[in-house]
Structure 1
Amino acid sequence: MHNRIAYLPLSTYPEAPPDPAVTAAVVLAAALNCGVQASLFEVDVPKTASPISGFLINVEGMAQAVEQRSKAECARLQTLIAGAAPKATVASHKVMLGGALDAATTEARTCDLALLPWSADTISAQDMAQSLVFDAGVPVILVPPTATAASVNHIAIAWDGSRVAARALCDALPLLAEGGHVSVVTVEDEKSLGAPGIADTLTAALQRRGFRAKAVNITLDGRTIAAALQETALSEGAQLLAMGGFGHSRLRDFILGGATKGVFAELRLPVLLSH
């Protein structure tokens, strides 16, 4: 059995993710029996060469101040992670402005999965999530500050029979604790599912493979699909919700599907996204 490694990228510009979310991600890594490989990205701001700018504002001084704050955040985050996971591997990288996303996406491909501390109000967290979900090629788990699971013995899969849902299922099952439960959640009134009883079909297939699985068919009842999926996962006792990440990229302008976008906006439990 190999040692599973969770990648934890933290950008410090324009701000770092909230400390509680960072700590929650490290705690979840332990619950998933993963080691932590953390990368802290310190920003390198290009200096202007314009001779006139110095007469108006101290551009170089402002750039240096941004770099110093970013460097201090990296040092502080390194201490925070070391306190939560003493065996974590932590490295700091100085990258050009805007370079953290490409660097993190490349590094993530060498690990089993990526854990992203989540905040809907933190631009750097949103950008990192979108970049890794669509470009890294590994499962990405968004972790809210409220996540506290000591183990993952119950996962919920948002199931519509699609390719991305199947990908999410295959990515999530290896993370389930031995003897754990799987809730197969199907939203019956959100869109055409193509065939009746798809939750029961997957449930039977999982049971044949030795999993303890249960079909959960729900309706929206006035809720958004994101709220319905998360409420159902929590009410079933799941510590992780797995779902396919929909979207496409055109000139790096990501258009997220309704369910995925809704989960991004208000995250209530760790959500694994596969693309």
Structure 2
Amino acid sequence: MKFMASLYLATYPDANTSKIAANAVALVKQIDAALHAIAINVDIPDVSNALSNYLLDLPYKIQEVDATSRKCGKDLLEAIAQKAVQGGVDLTTQELAAPPALMGDSAAKHSRYFDICLVGWAPANQTARMLAEAILFGSGRPTLLLPDSTHVGTLGHIVVAGDGSRVAARAVADARAFLERASMITVVTVTDEKPFPGQGIGERLALGLRTRGLVAEAVSIQAGDSSIGTALQEHALKIGGNLLTMGGYGHYRVRDFVLGGATEGILADLRLPVLLSH
């Protein structure tokens, strides 16, 4: 059965850069997956009246925004199509349109039909962040964040954040396609962040991975004055990790996200590809 990855492209007001094309194709090629790329275009309802038309020319401004969003989406899809041909990746594309407040919901509902969701990431791109949070907490699927500042190379060394929690266990299961192809897996436990449900959690997980025929080891670190998200990423980069996988903590209620400290730390300062599961 073919593994299916979906890629969600922010188009307005903050659009993804063309870097997402090369990164998404490089990633799915490594796990022998097919890619379905979706441009999320903005669809602003016409709320104009005679006065607003006269003073602001709202219909024209709305058409201008819609056209800008659609053009950006088409350009991104074309860039991905070119990279997919070069990389020999099976690709299908689609355009969705939704009001600004519902773009995240639309992406989350659509993503439930795929195995993994990809979102491009840049620190100041609030549209991409909104899509990522909505998909992570609303899709039931793992969400893989691809930083625009990073070139996705071979994902040979996978770093697993292990704390014995339900979401951490879910993340390991969701990362199976990457773990099976990894040359090295390091389970990292941050010991000074919170109490754990038992002793030797990291080593127990690493042993389970080794029993399955994978190369895995466990290490413990301390966050110190850093956030847990920063500590995990810094250690992953220090040991040559190419992908960090971890549980995504948070709740989705009345369109407001309440994020756990580790998740917020990752989203605030993404330094390498991170697979989050909720």
Question: TM-score by structure 2 length?
Answer: 0.92
After superposition, the C-alpha distances for 1:109-149 in whole angstroms (9 at most, x for unaligned) are 11110011011211110100110000101111001023334
Secondary structure of the structure 2 residue equivalent to 1:152: coil
Secondary structure at 1:138's aligned position in 2? coil
1:255 partner amino acid: V
| Candidates 211, 219, 228, aligned match of 1:225 | 228
Specify the code of the residue in structure 1 equivalent to 2:101. G
User: 1:164 is matched by which residue type in structure 2?
Assistant: V
The equivalent of 2:73 in structure 1 is 74
CA distance in 1: counterparts of 2:70 and 2:226, whole angstroms: 43
| Residue range with higher mean Cα deviation, 179-188 or 154-163 | 179-188
Q: 1:53 corresponds to which residue?
A: 52
- Percentage of pairs with the same residue: 38
| CA displacement 1:65-91 (0-9 Å, x = unmatched) | 101111211221122111211242112
**Matches of 1:245 and 1:78 in 2, distance apart?**
28
Q: Give, in angstroms, the shift of residue 19 of structure 1.
A: 2.1
CA distance in 1, matches of 2:78, 2:3: 23
Q: Number of paired residues?
A: 274
Structure 1 residues not aligned, in runs of 5+: none
* Structure 1 residue 177 displacement after superposition: 4.3
Q: Which amino acid aligns with 2:204?
A: T
User: Offset of 1:18 from its aligned partner?
Assistant: 2.1
Q: Which position in structure 1 is the counterpart of 2:18?
A: 19
For residue 179 of structure 1, report the CA deviation from its aligned partner: 5.8
Match of 1:103 in 2: 106
Work out the CA distance in 1 between the residues paired with 2:97 and 2:181: 40
Q: Distance in 1 between matches of 2:72 and 2:204?
A: 49
Give the match for residue 64 of structure 1: 63
Equivalent residue in structure 2 for 1:209, among 209, 212, 215: 212
Question: For residue 134 of structure 1, what is the aligned residue in structure 2?
Answer: 137
The residue that corresponds to 1:251 in the other structure is 254
CA separation of 1:49/1:274 partners in 2, compared to 1, >3 Å: closer, same or farther? Answer: same
Matching residue of 1:41: 40
TM-score (norm 1): 0.93
Which whole-Å CA distance do the structure 1 matches of 2:161 and 2:234 have between them? 12
Q: In the TM superposition, what is the alpha-carbon distance from 1:195 to its structure 2 partner? A: 2.3
Structure 1 178/119 Cα, relative in aligned 2: closer, same or farther at 3 Å? closer
What is the deviation of 1:235?
A: 2.1
Q: Matches of 2:44 and 2:54 in 1, distance apart?
A: 20
Aligned to 1:183, the other structure's residue is in SS state strand
What's the offset of the Cα at 1:22? 4.1
Q: Which amino acid aligns with 1:88?
A: L
- Is the contact between residue 5 and residue 116 of structure 2 (CA under 8 Å) also seen in structure 1? yes
The two structures, once aligned, show a CA RMSD in angstroms of 1.7
Structure 2, unpaired ranges of 5+? none
